[in-house]
Amino acid sequence: MSKIEVNKLQTLTGHNDCIYALTEGSNPRYFYTGAGDGMVVAWDLDHPKDGKLIARLPHSVYALETDPLRNLLFIGHNFEGIHVIDLNESKEIWSLKLTDQAIFDIKVFGDEAYIGTGDGVLIVVDINSRTVKKHIKLSSKSIRVMSIATSKRHLAIGLSDHSVKVLDLTNDFNPIANLTAHTNSVFALSYSPDETQLLSAGRDANLKFWDTDKYSLQENIVAHMYAINYLYFKEDGNLLVTCSMDKSIKIWDAEERRLLKVIDKARNAGHGTSINKVIWSSYNQHVISVSDDRTISIWKIEAN
């Protein structure tokens, strides 16, 4: 894979504060954003200019997660808990007051939702009964990001104590691994689509590749100038994208672990401030990014 062509297709506006949260919908034609203004907005990739407000909350929204099985959207409402939107009806159907902390990430697996909080507690919620099943105290520092290997049934958790902890979802959340190679907070974490690798990154600007058999470190790359805020694999697993506080997006060859393209303001009319989240759409293979500059960008990425 020698050359990547990048074209910026859209700049979407509407949020009144930094955009922190971004997730693909159960139907990947749609995606959802959440921001410091407490607004959660639905966007349609076929008609991207027409954002639709689906929730307005009093506090910032850092975390969004869709539940494809039930077509729900989970919203992490800072200092409160979770709000659950029925995406068929675009209305809230239930909520749970869980914490007085920030909620940095939410993951749904089967009939459970996992909520990571600012005081290092993993809260396990039973979706069907709408009740809390378990509190697991992992650290005195924040849980920042999570990723699930669905076949292996491993839950990886990146924390502000510089560690990545891996728990066993088949065996009562027992610890499998405690990865301590980072020198600062872990913000970005993802299993590869084939689950052979776990990638982690964060405030130390390093991108680390772990094998998932023994969770041994395979490679470390100094990938950005400043904190790496998020990373995301393309659906086929060949490419991945990282975004950073350094205002750049980078496209990587996942197999060769090689940088292919830098997307930034100077070269591509990119974001002017920290880029907080990025996803690689499984609907049209476009890259979607959100930033402190209050805008959403949609990028067409072509590999030649």
CA distance 155 to 225: 29
CATH number, domain at 110? 2.130.10.10
Please indicate, yes or no, if residue 141 is contained in any of the structural domains.
yes
Residue 144 belongs to some domain of the structure: yes
What SS3 class is residue 34? strand
Instruction: For residue 128, tell me if it sits in a domain.
Output: yes
* Residue 260 located in a structural domain: no
Please report whether residue 278 resides in a domain. no
What is the signed CA dihedral for 26, 27, 33, 34, rounded to 10 degrees? -30
260 and 1 in contact (C-beta within 8 Å)? yes
Are 98 and 91 contacting, i.e. CB atoms less than 8 angstroms apart? Answer: no
Q: What CA–CA distance (Å, rounded) separates 227 from 247?
A: 10
For 174-183, which contacts have Cβ atoms below 8 Å and span 24 or more sequence positions?
A: 176/215, 177/215, 179/210, 179/215, 179/217, 181/208, 181/217, 181/220, 182/206, 182/208
Q: 268: which DSSP letter? A: H
Paired with 31 in beta bridges are: 24, 43
Q: Output the CA torsion sign for 212, 153, 204, 282.
A: positive
Asked whether 240 and 254 are in contact (CB, 8 A), the reply is yes
The reply to whether the predicted model has a pTM over 0.85 is yes
The reply to whether 251 falls in a domain is no
The number of folded domains in the chain is: 1
Predicted confidence at residue 79, as pLDDT, reads 94
Alpha helices in the chain (DSSP H): 265-268
For position 1, what pLDDT does the model report?
Answer: 56
The answer to the question of residue 289 being in a domain is no
Q: Does the CA dihedral 33-34-36-38 come out positive or negative?
A: positive
Domain that residue 36 falls in: 18-239
Q: In what order do the strands lie in the sheet with 61-67?
A: 61-67, 72-77, 81-86, 91-97
Ramachandran angles phi, psi of 266, nearest 5°: -65, -45
Does residue 173 sit within a domain? yes
Distance of CA 188 to the CA centre of its chain: 7
- Answer for the pair 71, 32: CB distance below 8 angstroms, yes or no: no
**What is the residue-level pLDDT of the chain in tens, covering all 304 positions?**
568 999 999 999 999 999 999 999 999 999 999 999 999 999 999 999 989 999 999 999 999 999 999 999 999 999 999 999 999 999 999 999 999 999 999 999 999 999 999 999 999 999 999 999 999 999 999 999 999 999 999 999 999 999 999 999 999 999 999 999 999 999 999 999 999 999 999 999 999 999 999 999 999 999 999 999 999 999 999 999 999 999 999 999 999 999 999 999 999 999 999 999 999 999 999 999 999 999 999 999 998 8
